[in-house]
Structure 1
Amino acid sequence: MDIERKGLWLGFLGVAIFAMTTPMTRLAVGPAADPQLSPLFVVAGRAALAGVLSVFYLLLTGAPRPRGRQWTALAVSAAGTVVGFPLFLGLGLREVDAMHAAVITGVLPLGTAIAAALFFRQRPSVGFWACAAVGCALVLAFAAQSGSGLGRADGLLLLAVVSGSIGYVAGAHLSRQWHGEHVICWVLVISLPFTLPLMGWTWPAQPVRAGAWVGFGYVTLFSMWLGFFAWYRGLALGGTLRVSQVQLLQPFLSMLLAVPVLGERLSATTVFFSLAVIATVFVGRKMPTHAASSPPFSSDSSPVPSPVTPSRKSA
């Protein structure tokens, strides 16, 4: 197997791992009518346990220590990916099913591109902004037609997209300076003073189903940790521009996986909106952009990622 093909397969493995995040989070927190683990415990616990694993990994691999503005980028990435995204996702999944959430969060790559354009002071084309507007309109239309109209859960899921987008931009910038595995490990390690005590404080007082612990275990070991290893290695071997296109399959994979994991039903309307969002994200990521100045997390000599590149993270 040649290197590029190996990179594509590793990229697909990473996307498949991330696609399970939504149904497994739903399994862990349970619906509002039958709650299981609290979303706050899932957020803290998955990051804390993955952070402990990260300490050993960083020591074994001799990872470099952060310095200067890298600490700021790590803090921003942690706020978005360790706290914001999983917390808002878990709260939203208490009220809607995994398929619904997969469509709403399907605009995450486009949201990441918008965040990159703003934070790194780049000038996307009119076509890019048009795709962003269409993507938002599709998500809002899907939420509006889903029964009760735009609700609290949709707002929480959109907050998850915003949080993840900002955190992913900061992490993607650091991944140009370090190995990607070291980035996610440092993000988790600097979060330990917050996540470890919070995990203990929110530990469930009542018994929960075994399936909830299975979902929690998955988002801890795979979504929060190992998935990034496969994804970043795939990007390195197969090339970012080529391998990152595999990420377009993630919302659809999440919906398909929700059928056997949660017993949800796949409707024609959900499939239509999911494919429409995927097509919009694909076209938007092809639109040109122009660099305007250096990123806020580093000196002027540091490379500036384009709005396409930072969307590599997906959990």
Structure 2
Amino acid sequence: MTAQSSATAQDPIAVGSDRLTSVRRSPGGGLLLAGLGVLAFSLTFPSTVWGLESFGPWSLVALRSVLAALIAGCALPAGRVPLPARRHWAGLAVVAGGVVVGFPLLTSLALETSTSSHAAVVVGLLPLTTALFAAARTGARPPRAFWVAALAGAVLVIVFTVQQSGGKLSAGDLYLFGALLVCAAGYTEGGRLAKVMPGWQVIGWALILALPVAVAGAAVALPFEPVHLTARGVIGLVWVAAGSTFLGLYVWYRGMAEIGVPRASQLQLAQPLLTLVWSFLALGEEVSAAAPSAAVAVLVCIAVTQRAGSRETRRTGAEAPVRS
């Protein structure tokens, strides 16, 4: 068996003339990178609310994607990054449709009628949904303790966020549940691709792929949606473009490649609680006195999922092979 065929046996994606190499795994660094991604994502809802002060929902999402694609369009040539292999473009299209277009659009529409803290219920279900998608797509099989802790964390976050919003479901909840599904698919596919190309290239190529749709969307939406530029509106747009869409997804996908999609996804259990903090500080939304207790309970669930996932990785030596 040649060195190339040996590498192919270990990583079914890294074949052909990709000129891509598998990402070196570093569990400690992966946790840090994925945690930084969660921190960036936790600012997305408050920043979107700020952005909606200046732009309509369709315009905001289109401009967000265009600006992020411009960053990617500068970074990719500067790094002399070759085009991905043809077989990776379908996965990149899932990333583009899920995290570049679908999730931002659906949550922006939802935030026209929902508060930022109420929208956090989506993120409360996202870790469990992403782990389920990963199990189906990549063959990952975390132990039972992982699933018990993941389910408990999801229930804790949902109960807390619904209680925080008074137990009422808004008209935007259908948008939120749709956003949950497309985002979980985009996270899973991006984490799969990030095993063979750097995370910034995954999101970079996904942004380039979505650029024609974003430009067309901006051209259609801007004449019909009023634009009232404010400082907060511009800051919100810049953050969701550069912070959430590009930098946040870069460290997030790189972290998922190093520690696995299921383990990384459970770090997002902390995201709704962080979002509540930012919503209080930036938007003046009320946060209940139960927040500290909920935070501690969620952190315990995160610790259990990380311990169970780490123990399973040590036992098997690696994640299950990716299904091409």
Aligned match of 1:86 in 104, 117, 125? 104
Aligned partner of 1:305 in structure 2 is: none
| Counterpart residue type for residue 172 of structure 2 | A
Aligned partner of 1:118 in structure 2 is: 136
Aligned 8 A contact 1:99 1:270 in 2? no
**1:122-141, aligned counterparts within 5 Å?**
122-135=140-153, 137-138=155-156, 141=159
Aligned 8 A contact 1:131 1:280 in 2? yes
Mean CA deviation greater in 256-265 or 140-149: 140-149
Cα distance change, pair 247–292 in 1 and its aligned pair in 2 (3 A): closer
2:172 counterpart SS class: helix
- Give the alignment's TM-score, normalised by structure 1: 0.76
Render the CA deviation track for 1:251-308: whole Å, top value 9, x for unaligned: 3222111222111121124555565555445534554578997534x3xxxxxxxxxx
| Counterpart residue type for residue 279 of structure 2 | A
Aligned partner of 1:62 in structure 2 is: 80
Cα distance change, pair 96–269 in 1 and its aligned pair in 2 (3 A): farther
Tell me the CA shift for residue 232 of structure 1: 5.6
Tell me the CA shift for residue 187 of structure 1: 0.5
Aligned 8 A contact 1:102 1:251 in 2? yes
Aligned match of 2:115 in 90, 97, 101? 97
Q: Distance in 1 between matches of 2:160 and 2:77?
A: 46
Does the alignment pair 1:152 with 2:171?
Answer: yes
1:268 counterpart SS class: coil
Tell me the CA shift for residue 113 of structure 1: 1.0
2:47 counterpart SS class: helix
CA RMSD, 1 decimal? 3.4
**1:1-315, aligned counterparts within 5 Å?**
12-30=35-53, 36-135=54-153, 137-138=155-156, 141-142=159-160, 145=163, 146-147=165-166, 149-203=168-222, 205-210=225-230, 211-231=232-252, 240=259, 244=264, 247-269=268-290, 273=294, 276-277=297-298, 279-284=300-305, 286-287=307-308, 294-296=321-323, 298=324
- Give the alignment's TM-score, normalised by structure 2: 0.74
Count of equivalent residues: 287
1:69 counterpart SS class: helix
| Counterpart residue type for residue 211 of structure 2 | L
Mean CA deviation greater in 169-178 or 142-151: 142-151
Which has the larger Rg? 2
Tell me the CA shift for residue 24 of structure 1: 0.3
% identical equivalent positions: 35
Aligned 8 A contact 1:105 1:157 in 2? no
Cα distance change, pair 260–197 in 1 and its aligned pair in 2 (3 A): same
Mean CA deviation greater in 79-88 or 106-115: 106-115
Tell me the CA shift for residue 10 of structure 1: 5.8
Tell me the CA shift for residue 214 of structure 1: 2.1
Cα distance change, pair 37–196 in 1 and its aligned pair in 2 (3 A): same
